[in-house]
Structures are given as C-alpha cells and as structure tokens.
C-alpha cells in the first residue's frame, strides 16, 4: 500500500490556522451566548418541552417546577434567583448559588429545568401601561 | 459490496479497527460529562489512524460502525445518546473528509484531529440544544466544550501518532 | 451504507488537484463570511442608542437605531426640548398657551388661535365628535373638581351638588367654533384639558421629526404610551403590556413599521377615599370616573387617535365600545373589563401574544362594527351585544 502521508506529529501551517480559529471560537462563543445587559426584572422558567413561563422577581416567593426526574424548587428573593432543591444527583444547579444578572442561566440538566434571567432591555424594547 | 479484492481481508481490517473503536467508545461512555451524551470522542483516535493508513472511506466505515454497534452494545440504540453520538461522528467525519481531500499538504494529523474534535463536540452541543434541551442556557457550555475539543484533539493526535509509529515498526 | 471500495491498493490521491485548491479558497471565504456575519450582528447592537428624560410630567425614553450616533444624540436632545415646550404650551392648568386660549374662548369673541394649539384643538374637536363626546377636551373644570389638575394627590371626591352643577352646564367640543385659524367659544364653562390626546399627538409628531432627520428606526415611549418606526434591528420593536391588576407583563406585541400602542387604565392616576378608588378618567355623562373597564389598549398608526380612542373606549366600556371604535376608525383593541376578562377584536388577537402566566383570564373575541357604520341610523342587529 502506497501512502503519501505519514501520521507524524509535525505541525504544519494549516494546523496552526485550525488551532487559531478554534481558539478564536472560544471567546466568540462566550460573547454570543452570554452577553446580555440590563437589570433582572423577571425570570423565564422552562421545564421539559412545556411553554416557558415568566415570573417577576419583585416579590419573594418559591416556585415548584416539575421536570423529567421530579420537582425542582426555585427560590426568588430580593431580586435574586437560585435552585433551592432539585432531584438530580450532582446538585450542580443548587451549588451554583444565587444569580441576579440578566442574561444569566441556571439549568438542572438532568431534570430538564432551566431558568433564564431576563431584563426589560432584553425581552421588550418598551413596556406599555 | 463489490470489490476487486478479497472481501474477507478488507472486511477483517475494517472489523478489527471498528472493534477497537467500539471498545474505546464503550469505555468512554462511563466517563462523566456536563451534558449527558456529550463525550470527548476518544474513539476518534482509531478513526484518525484508519484515515491516515487506509483513506477516508475506511475511516467512514469504522466510524459509523463504531457509533451503531457501540450504541447497540450499550443499549442506547435510537436513544438521544445515539443521536448525539451519530451527530458528533458525522460532523467530525465530514471535517476530516473535507480536510483530507482538500488541504493535505498544509494540514497534518494535529490539525485534522483538532478540527474533527471541535466539530464533534460542537455538533453534539447543537443537536442537544436543537432536539433535546432547547433552553438557551445550554449554549453557555459552548466555550467550555470548544476548549475541551481543542485539548482532546491534540491529545488524540498524540496518541494516534504514537500508535502509528509503533505500527510502522511492524509489518502490516 | 454503500461505500465503493475498489481501490484499496492505489494511492488515495484520486482527487483532481485543481479541485483541492478551489475548495481551500472556498473554505477560507466561508470562514471569513461567518466571522463577518458574527461581527455584524454584534455591530447592529452597537447602533442602538437609548435616551431618557422627564417631560410631559412623565419619564420619556427614546430608542434610536442609527449608525450615526451624533445624529441620534442631536435628534433626541432636540426632541426632548420640543416635548418640554409642548408640555408648557399645552399645560391644562399652569399658565401658558392653552390656558390663555381657554380664557379667550370663555370671552365668546373671535380670536386668532396660537399656532402651537390650533392643530391640536382641531383634532381634539374632530375626535370628540367621532367618540360621541366621550372624549371631551373642554371639561377641565370637572377634572379640576376631582383634584386631578394639580401636583398634589386629591383626597376627597367632590360633592354630588358640585358635580350636578358642573354637569348642568357641561361644555362640549362643539362649543368651540373654528374658522380657519380663528376661534370663538360658546360656553363660559369651557376649560381646555387635552390630557387624553396631547401625549399621543406629541409622540407621533416626535416620530415624524426623527424621520425627517433621516432616522428610520426609533421608539418613543412616553410613560408607557409609545410609537415606533422601523425595527429594533434583529427583530421588530417588541412591546410588553403591563398587567393592570398585578405585577408583571400580561401580553406582548410586535410593532409593524409605523405603529403606536396606547393604554388607558384605572391604575394610572387615582386616589382612595373611604375604601373606594377614584381614578382620573372622568365620564362626561355622569361626572364620575368611568367604571366599566379596567384598561383599554389601542394599536393604531396614528398616535393622537390611539390616545384619544383609548380614553373614549375606556369610558364606553364593554357594552358601548364597538360603535365608538368604528367611528374613530380603530380596529385593534384590547379591553380588560371589571371581571378581569379580556375583550379583543380578532385583528388584535392576531397581534397580541398573551403571556403564559396570565393565561387564566377568559378571552372574549368581539368583532368590531363594520367601518361604514354610521351613528344615528339605528340598524337592528348591527350593534354589538354582550
């Protein structure tokens, strides 16, 4: 068998280009998925495939959300949000603590429950009342 | 499948490489991951090896066999995990193919491996977001996964290269 | 999975060499295009300018999407100035052009109306007629009696006697005779209060001024009532409609190119006395705050009409709004009645997206009356009934 390409680790110019592009992808991906300004005024809770529901953060209260594994409890206090209980194993969502910045997300992936922190700037361009 | 050569010989080669890849795939499924189903794709080492020794068609066979048989073995056939595996495999296969057929003088093992790995992981994230967890929060994992993709790409390349060098010493 | 594997022992370089070169170039341009697209969407967000200031007794927010930021700065500053002078000119109780005009009307002699108020008074008269007098621009004395003409919070409703006395000589828009730019009043109780139309007129005028300066995309929000042109960039201007009875947003709507959303509600200005709530939208038929609806939201491309219509329809309530809407030419209406039910026209239903958290409201869809409906002709079966 005639091979004209060895599997040596010699890094060629194309390799550098690829590595560079992929490295650039990191901050690009970060910017495009997280950058959202504005103070949090509401949260949007997504559970499973159900329609997302919006809750205001102005009143302190708890929300029970049923996900794939069971009930997650989301606590809203003083304009901040957190998972206070969840049926997952790792409890990463709970350990991530309180969140308050709009554009932020907290997710309990095993239970398929997600919280998106919204600001007025983000969802609506103006409020009519 | 018609060919000019002894079918058994080539099939054996494909099968043995595929078996190796499947084994790695199964072992890898035990590793934890931030999103269930998204894996670093260590079985790509075999795919890379096969790509460089026997060409992309061979690599395609091994890769797809790995995904299908692996999922059958793990009991995840037709499950979301299977879909994610397939998505990753197809994406990395496609990028490997693209680079292999177009950029070979400029791109070596490392580059192909990194791009394959990154596209593997990004495709899995995208399919996970599109089909299973439409929550935009999952996209926040993107930077993390890209980094992991680059690192694993380099890792895979190193491993594949050392295996290749060892094989060089042996007769085919 | 059919792979053609006939060439294992030949080198894997069956591809044409020129194709390889073209593909590389194609790949490079693709990468470049993706990078450009990403930066462009980020850039568009840069073109969104936001300004805030107090005018018309409320907080006004102006959003302009324009690549020329100095143009946006200058245009919005100019607009705030204009709003300030309009506010002064049209003030219903502080000395200014409008109060002067009221005084002259009371004198019942011909005079030349000031340019700053002529257009607005003409429109107010027109809309008042179309609304069968529910929107009444000259009942300043009645509004004053309720305490809503002043900075302080009123404490007590006026006595029934006082209301009866005011109702006895209640002026209407038709008591103003207009001939070109000359005016004459026919009722010594005339007191111009254009609160129900001034903001709409001002915001609409502001939008047109921005357009005249070459700005194609803008949103002016004057204390909750707004008009928009163009789009936000990545999408249309998206407006959240506040829940009148609770916190949060009850619905959202996306503006098409040139549209205004105005809401009249019983929660905007009010006082409580003896456990009862009295708000600032007075029904000229009985002298009391209108109590048939909780809020009315109107979508229309003319700000002045949207403003006046939301007031008139609010006063009309669930049983009388259709005729008024037809006459005033508004067809996108959302009303919330005292039971918390939503009454919408079908065309408004298409535009409004109700929030899931508010989904427990009953929704009634009511056809508006046909546009050729004319008041005065009693056609049985044509009037809407609930």
Three-state SS letters, C330-379:
CCEEEEEECCCCEEECHHHHHHEEECHHHCCCCEEECCCCCCCCCCCCCC
Which residues 31-90 of B have a C-beta within 8 angstroms of A?
Answer: 34-36, 48-49, 52-54
Residue B3 lies in a domain: no
- What is the pLDDT, as a whole number, of residue B81? 78
**C284 touches C134 (CB < 8 A):** yes
Q: What mean pLDDT do residues B35-58 have?
A: 77
| pLDDT(B5) > 60 | no
Rg, chain B, Cα only: 16
Nearest CB to A54 within list C38, C224, C249: C249
Percent of chain B beyond pLDDT 70?
83
The reply to whether residue A22 touches residue B118, judged by beta carbons under 8 angstroms, is: yes
Count of other CB atoms within 10 angstroms of residue C338: 12
Going residue by residue through chain C, which has 386 residues, state the pLDDT in tens, using 9 for 90 and above: 233 333 333 343 443 443 444 555 555 555 565 556 555 555 555 688 888 776 776 778 899 999 898 999 999 999 999 999 999 999 999 999 999 999 999 999 999 999 999 999 999 999 999 999 999 999 999 999 999 998 777 889 999 999 999 999 999 999 999 999 999 999 999 999 999 999 999 999 999 999 999 999 999 999 789 999 999 888 899 998 888 876 567 899 999 989 999 999 998 788 889 999 999 999 999 999 999 999 999 999 999 999 999 999 999 999 999 999 999 999 999 999 999 899 999 999 999 988 766 667 888 888 877 765 554 444 444 444 43
Q: What mean pLDDT do residues B53-63 have?
A: 84
Tokens of A54: 């919006």
- What is the pLDDT, as a whole number, of residue B34? 63
Nearest CB to C5 within list B10, B101, B103: B10
pLDDT in tens, A83-108: 999 998 777 788 777 877 666 667 78
Alpha-carbon distance of C141 to C163, in angstroms, equals: 10
Phi, psi of B85 (to 5 degrees): -60, -45
| pLDDT(A119) > 80 | no
Which residues 51-80 of B have a C-beta within 8 angstroms of C?
Answer: 54-58, 60-61, 64
Options 3.40.140.10, 3.30.56.10, 1.10.3980.10, 1.10.357.10; CATH of C97-185: 1.10.3980.10
Residue B4 lies in a domain: no
Count of other CB atoms within 10 angstroms of residue C117: 22
Interface test with B, best of A8, A14, A19, A92 (most B CBs within 10 A): A14
Residue B135 lies in a domain: yes
Alpha-carbon distance of C52 to C2, in angstroms, equals: 65
Interface test with A, best of B142, B144, B147, B163 (most A CBs within 10 A): B142
- Judged by a CB distance cut-off of 8 A, whether residue A49 touches chain B is yes
Residue B1 lies in a domain: no
pLDDT band at B104 (very low <50, low <70, confident <90, very high): confident
Contacts of C226 in chain A (CB under 8 A): 126, 128
Alpha-carbon distance of C312 to C314, in angstroms, equals: 5
Domains in chain A, CATH or no CATH each: 40-122 (2.60.320.10)
Q: Is C326 exposed, middle or buried (0-12, 13-18, 19+ CB in 10 A)?
A: buried
- What is the pLDDT, as a whole number, of residue C15? 39
The reply to whether residue A116 touches residue B150, judged by beta carbons under 8 angstroms, is: no
The reply to whether residue A7 touches residue B35, judged by beta carbons under 8 angstroms, is: no
Alpha-carbon distance of B73 to C344, in angstroms, equals: 57
The reply to whether residue B103 touches residue C24, judged by beta carbons under 8 angstroms, is: yes
- Judged by a CB distance cut-off of 8 A, whether residue A124 touches chain C is yes
Interface test with C, best of B2, B17, B57, B115 (most C CBs within 10 A): B57
Nearest CB to B64 within list C1, C8, C19: C1
* Sheet containing strand C182-185, strands side by side: C111-112, C182-185, C176-179
Residue A72's H or E segment, with its range, is strand A71-77
What is the ipTM, given to two decimal places? Answer: 0.79
The CATH number of the domain holding residue B93 is 1.10.1760.20
**C190 touches C106 (CB < 8 A):** yes
- Judged by a CB distance cut-off of 8 A, whether residue B10 touches chain C is yes
Length of chain B equals 172
Handedness of CA C71, C73, C76, C81 (dihedral sign): negative
- Judged by a CB distance cut-off of 8 A, whether residue B131 touches chain A is no
Mean pLDDT over the full length of chain A:
77
Tell me the domain boundaries of chain C: 97-185
Q: Which residues of A21-36 are buried (b: 16+ CB within 10 A; e: fewer)?
A: bbeebbebbeeebbeb
Q: Which residues of A46-82 are buried (b: 16+ CB within 10 A; e: fewer)?
A: bbeeeebbbbbbeeeeebebebeeeebbbebeeebbb
Distance from CA of C319 to the nearest CA of A (A): 23
Residue B136 DSSP symbol: G
- What is the pLDDT, as a whole number, of residue B135? 61
Alpha-carbon distance of A126 to C149, in angstroms, equals: 28
Give the distance from CA C278 to its chain's centroid.
23
The pairing of beta strand A105-108 with beta strand A113-119: antiparallel
Residue A101 DSSP symbol: B
- What is the pLDDT, as a whole number, of residue C240? 86
The reply to whether residue A18 touches residue B114, judged by beta carbons under 8 angstroms, is: yes
Q: Which domain holds residue B156?
A: 9-169
**B165 touches A9 (CB < 8 A):** no
* Domains in chain B, number: 1
Contacts of C244 in chain A (CB under 8 A): 129
CA B108-B110-B114 angle, 5° bins: 125
Closest CA to C130 of C274, C289, C325: C325
- Judged by a CB distance cut-off of 8 A, whether residue C232 touches chain A is yes
Distance from CA of A52 to the nearest CA of C (A): 7
Alpha-carbon distance of A65 to B40, in angstroms, equals: 32
Distance from CA of A31 to the nearest CA of B (A): 9
Residue B14 lies in a domain: yes
């Amino acid at each position: 068998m005639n091979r004209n390409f060895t599997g040596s680790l010699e890094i060629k110019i194309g390799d550098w280009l690829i590595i560079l592009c992929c490295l650039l992808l990191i901050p690009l991906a970060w910017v495009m998925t997280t950058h959202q300004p504005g103070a949090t005024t509401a949260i949007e809770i997504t559970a499973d495939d159900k329609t997302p529901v919006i809750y205001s953060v102005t009143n302190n209260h708890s929300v029970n959300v049923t996900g794939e594994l069971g009930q997650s409890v989301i606590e809203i206090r003083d304009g901040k949000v957190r998972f206070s209980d969840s049926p997952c194993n790792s409890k990463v969502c709970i350990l991530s603590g309180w969140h308050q910045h709009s554009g932020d997300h907290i997710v309990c992936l095993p239970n398929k429950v997600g919280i998106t922190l919204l600001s007025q700037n983000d969802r609506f361009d103006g409020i009519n009342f | 499948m018609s060919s000019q050569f002894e079918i058994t010989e080539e099939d054996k080669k494909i099968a043995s490489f595929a078996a190796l890849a499947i084994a790695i795939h199964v072992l890898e499924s035990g590793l934890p991951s931030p999103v269930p189903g998204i894996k670093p794709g260590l079985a790509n080492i075999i795919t890379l090896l096969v790509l460089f020794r026997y060409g992309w068609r061979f690599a395609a066979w091994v890769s797809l066999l790995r995904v299908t048989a692996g999922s059958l073995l793990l009991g995840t056939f037709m499950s979301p995990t299977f879909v994610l595996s397939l998505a990753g495999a197809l994406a990395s296969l496609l990028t490997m193919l693209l680079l292999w057929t177009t950029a070979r003088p400029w791109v070596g093992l490392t580059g192909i491996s990194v791009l394959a790995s990154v596209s593997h992981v990004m495709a899995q994230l995208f399919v996970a977001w599109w089909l299973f967890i439409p929550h935009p929060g999952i996209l926040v994992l993107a930077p993390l996964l890209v980094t992991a993709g680059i690192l694993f790409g380099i890792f895979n390349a190193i491993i594949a290269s050392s295996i290749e060098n060892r094989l060089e010493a042996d007769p085919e | 999975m059919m792979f053609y594997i006939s060439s294992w022992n030949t080198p894997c370089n069956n591809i044409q060499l020129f194709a390889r070169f073209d593909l590389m170039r194609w790949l490079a341009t693709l990468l470049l295009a993706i990078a450009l697209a990403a930066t462009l969407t980020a850039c568009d967000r840069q073109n969104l300018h936001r300004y805030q200031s107090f005018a018309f007794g409320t907080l006004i927010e102006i959003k302009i999407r324009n690549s020329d930021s100095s143009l946006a700065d200058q245009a919005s500053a100019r607009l705030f100035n204009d709003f300030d002078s309009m506010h002064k000119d049209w003030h219903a109780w502080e000395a200014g052009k409008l109060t002067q005009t009221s005084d002259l009307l009371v004198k019942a002699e011909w005079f030349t109306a000031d340019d700053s108020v002529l257009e607005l008074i003409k429109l107010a008269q027109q809309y008042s007629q179309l609304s069968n007098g529910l929107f009444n621009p000259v009942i300043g004395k009645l509004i004053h009696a309720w305490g809503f003409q002043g900075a302080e919070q009123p404490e007590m409703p006026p006595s029934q006697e006082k209301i009866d006395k005011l109702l006895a000589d209640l002026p209407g828009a038709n008591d103003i005779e207009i001939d070109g730019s000359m005016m004459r009043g026919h009722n010594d109780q005339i007191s111009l209060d254009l609160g129900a139309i001034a903001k709409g007129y001002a915001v609409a005028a502001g939008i047109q001024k921005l357009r005249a300066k070459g700005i194609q995309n803008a949103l002016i929000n004057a204390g909750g009532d707004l008009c928009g042109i163009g789009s936000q960039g990545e999408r249309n201007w998206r407006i959240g409609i506040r829940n009148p009875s609770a916190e949060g947003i009850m619905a959202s709507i996306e503006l098409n190119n040139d549209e205004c959303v105005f809401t009249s509600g019983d929660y905007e200005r009010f006082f409580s006395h003896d456990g009862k709530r009295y708000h600032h939208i007075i029904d000229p038929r009985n002298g009391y705050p209108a109590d048939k609806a909780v809020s009315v939201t109107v979508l229309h491309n003319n700000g002045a009409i949207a403003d006046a219509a939301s007031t008139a329809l609010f006063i009309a309530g669930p049983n009388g709004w259709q005729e008024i809407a037809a006459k005033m030419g508004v067809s996108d209406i959302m009303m919330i009645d005292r039971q918390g039910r939503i009454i919408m026209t079908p065309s408004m239903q298409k535009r409004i997206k109700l929030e899931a958290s508010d989904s427990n409201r009953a929704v009634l869809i009511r056809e508006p009356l046909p546009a050729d409906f004319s008041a005065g002709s009693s056609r049985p079966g044509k009037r809407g009934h609930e």
